[in-house]
Structure 1
Amino acid sequence: MKHLIVGPEGHGVTEYALGLANATDAEVIREDTFGDTPLDGPVHVTFTDHLFDDTAERLLARVTGPLSVSLHDIPQPEEGEARYARRAKVYNQLAHAADVVVVNSNHEASFFNTETTVIRLPIPVIDSPFNPEPGTVGVLGFIYPGKGHEDLIEALPDRRLRFLGAVSAGHEDWAAGLDAEITGWLSDDQLAQEMGRIAVPVCPHRHFSASGSLMTWLGAGRTVLVRDSDYAREIDQWLPGRITLVDGDWRGVVDKHVPEQLDPPRYGWAEVAQLWEETWRLAGLT
């Protein structure tokens, strides 16, 4: 099966696509930006509308045979009525047209009214030296408004807030006003080192339905404070004892958190690839 992989290296969805293709030894069609060349099937696509011209029509027009899709950044009502309606149309069009539809959580699957398969994001094993610095609270990933960084700044004025990642394009002026340390882009080795310096790992995302940042913390063996949500509760049930659900009281929960490092869960690309290959086999695509 050919894998169409679109987008710049470093983008979370692109990195997932590259990881899946590598784990399943797939033939790759690589495009930095979405093109127009026809694709004979079967074809697998790791999709987010942000990388595919915000439409489903162009992708569906390119694929002339069976189509498998891994859907990411599933629309959520909290985005606002107009944006949600526009994006929901794109994702539903694609889900109804594809022969295999996979999402990363049960919470995401509940968005669709067609058959979907849930294959959770892999948890990478990260060699992160455990050397937590007292008073530090850390957040991973791209930095942009509405992700929850502001909530931590307001709730924890006496803590050393460290945001491990780069500012999303277009939000530089907003980020410059944040009372926190922003590392900028980090290599994998640098990120592992910086994670180990954090005393309290946090995922403060206000609206999320699958999180590579959370999987990264778990892959370093860290116990993580996560804003309460359907998705967070789902992961808590799947991996009990790994996360603490936070219902708004960051101050109280952060003060009680004891830094620790556990053995990471055993759920990496080998397990994810096996689930994908079984899904493709059952659908007659391999």
Structure 2
Amino acid sequence: MNFDTGHLVIGPITHGVVRCAVSVHQALASIGEQHPLARLDNPDADIPTDVQQCGLVHMHVTDRLFGRTPAAAAHALRTTVRRLGRPISITLHDIPQPSDGAAMLARVEFYRQAASCAVGIAVSSGHEATLLAEHVDADLKPAIVPLMIERYPVARPAPIAERTVGVLGFLYPGKGHIETLEALRDLPPAVGFVALGAPSPGHEDLARELHAAAASSGRPCEVTGFLVDAELRARASQVTVPVAYHRHMSASGSINSWIAVRRKPLVPRTPYTEELDARSPGMVQLHDNDERALRTAIAHAVENPSSTWLDASTVPSPSPSDVALAYAELLRTWSR
């Protein structure tokens, strides 16, 4: 059976971009769009025949899924496209920006090459589209399909005496774990810190750094390690204060994971979070983008934990079906 569109997903299922790609495919299936999906652990793996026979193949792309360096990733991506022998469309994630430091130029070249391989391009926020124009190619006009926000029937737990402040997602530099822990310094040592996730490969030292910083002030600290979806939702509902102090976010699945379990996370005011707040008002608690404002926001939320919960009737946007409908239209357009 021939399909107009197939999906090729490369990388480990624990990676946020891979999980996003699989979620998009599942959402498409839920509205009746039956597309074959192939998920490969690495770009060298065999590509199933049903995907190779599609008229268009869609991929979710970030350099870190294709190689240890941007140059190696670009080579692997070009090789994958040649092996497919089909037109591809792509959703670009983790768009290069100045905070990449010395790696930025090499990452920009990867994204330029990725864009040149595609007949259609999507990104997950208007902020990402701006970064793409400013740093990669001003002539690119990507479609914007925001990350879906799912909803889970999570019951609000009974109040407990122990207060915790939590950050959700993989540990890596710039995610805001250390800054959030340091922002607790004016609070009683009994207020604990929780990192819901595991260190990204190569950043295991961050867990040790968190434990050492907490121990110096006698503060409880837990790094949970990787959590499967049900565990993550349960633990996210138990944290007293959810925080997403990501230093360089252009789109954020972590924020959406908090919202999905009715939490209203504290987030810095940035182009992306203001975009999210405009699209789906009241889902987050915005504060100024500095550590003094973060300390104030956390202290207030620790004293007023009810402020970190969304009403059960709240409907965030976009839903999985909203995202699926947007992708279905784009994929039909790109496959013509």
Identify the match of residue 151 of structure 2 among 125, 132, 136: 125
The reply on whether 1:77 has 2:98 as its aligned counterpart is yes
Does 2:110 align with 1:96? no
Bigger mean CA offset, 248-257 vs 210-219: 248-257
- In structure 2, do the counterparts of structure 1 residues 186 and 101 end up closer, same or farther at CA, with 3 Å as the change threshold? same
The letter for the 1-side match of 2:58 is H
Equivalent in the alignment of 1:160: 192
Paired position in structure 2 for 1:208: 249
- Which residues in structure 2 correspond to 1:201-280 (within 5 Å)? 201-246=242-287, 247-248=289-290, 249-257=293-301, 258-262=307-311, 263-280=314-331
1:45–1:68: 8 Å Cα contact kept in structure 2?
A: yes
Provide closer, same or farther for how the CA distance between residues 36 and 164 of structure 1 changes in structure 2, counting only shifts above 3 A: closer
Q: Is the 8 A contact 2:180 2:243 kept in 1?
A: no
Instruction: Output the CA distance in 1 between the equivalents of 2:45 and 2:181.
Output: 45
Question: For structure 2, which runs of at least 5 residues remain unmatched after alignment?
Answer: 29-33, 68-72, 215-220, 302-306
Which secondary structure does the structure 2 equivalent of 1:226 belong to? strand
CA–CA distance in structure 1, aligned partners of residues 11 and 263 of structure 2: 30
Residues 1:35 and 2:44 aligned together: yes
2:66 is matched with which residue? 52
CA distance in 1, matches of 2:299, 2:207: 26
Cα separation, 2, equivalents of 1:177 and 1:35: 35
Distance 1:145 1:29 in 2: 31
Aligned counterparts of 1:67 and 1:10: Cα–Cα separation in 2: 24
Letter in 2 for 1:102: A
Greater helix fraction, Structure 1 or Structure 2:
2
Q: CA deviation at 1:216?
A: 0.9
CA contact (8 A) 2:283 2:310 kept: no
Q: Distance in 2 between matches of 1:146 and 1:170?
A: 14
d(CA) in 2 for partners of 1:52, 1:271:
29
Report the residue type matching 2:226 in the other structure.
Answer: W
User: Deviation of residue 217 (structure 1)?
Assistant: 0.9
Q: Which amino acid aligns with 2:209?
A: G
Tell me how far apart the structure 1 counterparts of residues 283 and 39 of structure 2 sit (CA, whole Å).
36
Take 1:135 and 1:165, find their aligned partners in 2: how far apart are those partners? Answer: 19
Spell out, residue by residue over 1:46-76, the C-alpha distance to the aligned partner (whole angstroms, 9 max, x if none): 1111112221432343342321101111111
Q: TM-score, normalised by structure 1?
A: 0.92
Report the AA paired with residue 150 of structure 1.
I
1:138 partner amino acid = G
Between the aligned partners of 1:232 and 1:259, the Cα distance in structure 2 is 16
Contact 2:198 2:224 in 1 (8 A): yes
Q: Does structure 2 conserve the Cα–Cα contact (< 8 Å) formed by 1:138 and 1:201?
A: yes
Cα drift, residue 37 of structure 1:
5.8
2:233 alignment counterpart: 192
Q: Matches of 1:118 and 1:71 in 2, distance apart? A: 10
SS at 1:177 equivalent: helix
User: Post-superposition shift, 1:36?
Assistant: 6.9
Query: Which structure's CA Rg is the greater one?
Result: 2
Candidates 3, 8, 17, aligned match of 2:12: 8
8 Å Cα contact 1:125/1:220 also seen in 2:
yes
Shift of 1:266: 5.0
Cα RMSD, aligned residues only: 1.9
Q: Work out the number of aligned pairs and report it.
A: 284
**How many Å apart are 1:260 and its aligned residue?**
2.2
Counterparts of 1:266 and 1:252 in 2: how far apart (Å)? 28
Aligned equivalents of 1:148, 1:237: Cα separation in 2: 23
Q: Which deviates more, 100-109 or 23-32? A: 23-32
Offset of 1:199 from its aligned partner? 1.8
| Runs (4+) off by over 3 Å | 36-41
The TM-score, its normalising length taken from structure 2, stands at 0.79
Q: Give the direction of change, closer, same or farther, for the CA distance of 1:184–1:210 in structure 2 (3 Å limit).
A: same
Equivalent-residue separation in structure 2 for 1:273 and 1:197 (angstroms):
31
Moved more, 20-29 or 35-44: 35-44
